[in-house]
Chain A
Amino acid sequence: MESPAHRLVLPACVESLEEFRRFVRGGAAACGIAPGEVDKLDLVMEEILINVARYAYVPEAGTAEVTYWQTSPGRLRVEISDQGRPFDPLAADPPDLSRGLAGRPIGGLGVFLVRTLADSVAYRREDGRNILSFEFPGPG
């Protein structure tokens, strides 16, 4: 039932975001994910790739690699990897969402959205690579 993996490698920078999203949207359409869900997938991709673009290689430049395959009809598995310094975006404390306006921290919402909108979100370090994986659609 699993489809062959599709792979795209681009510079790890904000400018690559749209091309990566277009690539994974193609996979979502091919495996029958409803068009209405695709904006959520875009959001998950953006939040993960922005972290890679910002933190993986600074101050040098490098590449990000996106791989996806269908795990079952209507279900996509995506892995986003880089060869930068070890960085687990899931290790940070979740943002305190109970604070009022003045005290509300500005960061941390991206990872929170990834965990809310995707399923089986996981980080691993393997052969000098950071790999963040998720399945889509998630529960949210």
Chain B
Amino acid sequence: MTIEATELEKAVVLKVTGRMDAENAPQFEQTCDLWIRRGAKHLIAELDGLEYVSSMGLRSFLSVAQKLQPLPGSLILCGLGGLPRQVFEMTRLLGLFPVFETSGQALATL
């Protein structure tokens, strides 16, 4: 899994590529925590390249969104497809996040 961050005026875009499993899910949460500590309120996860996510990954997404909510802020999901999208749907997590096709669409709402 690789995470590529781009800091914008209203949000930080995190492009996540590869497989998010038990071994590396904490890395995603730690990266998000770093940006939250630097004052980011909105994180946009670009997930077009996310091939796989397990419950440890879901746990990280949920935990980051719960930290951002009271700021108030948000963890926005973009480009979710394939099995990762199915996993978010099965666990009924999809409805808990703002979801967009592209980060451009997400940015337009902030």
> Is there contact, CB below 8 Å, between A106 and B91?
no
Q: How far is the CB of A137 from chain B (nearest CB, A)?
A: 13
A120 within 8 A of partner (CB): no
Contact partner of B55 among A39, A40, A101, A110, CB < 8 A?
A110
Q: Is A42 an interface residue (CB 8 A)?
A: yes
Residue of B nearest to A44 (CB): B54
Q: Is B30 in contact with chain A by the CB < 8 A criterion? A: no
A112-129 interface code vs B (CB 8 A; 1 in, 0 out)? 110010000000000000
Q: How large is the interface on A (under 10, 10 to 19, 20 to 34, 35 or more residues)?
A: 20 to 34
Give Cα A110 to B58, complex, Å. 9
Complex Cα spacing A50 to B24, Å: 13
**Residue A43 at the chain B interface, CB threshold 8 Å:** yes
Query: Are A102 and B69 touching (Cβ within 8 A)?
Result: yes
How many residues of B are counted as interface, with CB atoms below 8 angstroms from the partner's CB atoms? 23
Could you tell me the distance between the alpha carbons of A140 and B93 in the complex, rounded to whole angstroms? 17
Smallest beta-carbon distance B23→chain A, Å: 6
Which residues from 72 to 94 on chain A have a C-beta closer than 8 Å to any C-beta of chain B?
none
Give complex CA distance A112, B91 in Å. Answer: 8
Of B52, B65, B69, B92, the contact of A43 (CB 8 Å cutoff): B52
How far, in angstroms, from A97 to B87 measured CA to CA in the complex? 13
At the interface, yes or no: A4 with Cβ under 8 Å from chain B? no
Known: A17-B23, A50-B22, A102-B66. Is A110-B92 also a contact (CB below 8 A)? no
Partner of A116, one of B56, B90, B93: B90
Is there a chain B Cβ closer than 8 Å to A47's Cβ? Answer: yes
Q: Which residues of B contact A (CB under 8 A)?
A: 21-23, 51-52, 54-56, 58-59, 62-63, 65-66, 69, 83, 86-87, 90-93, 96
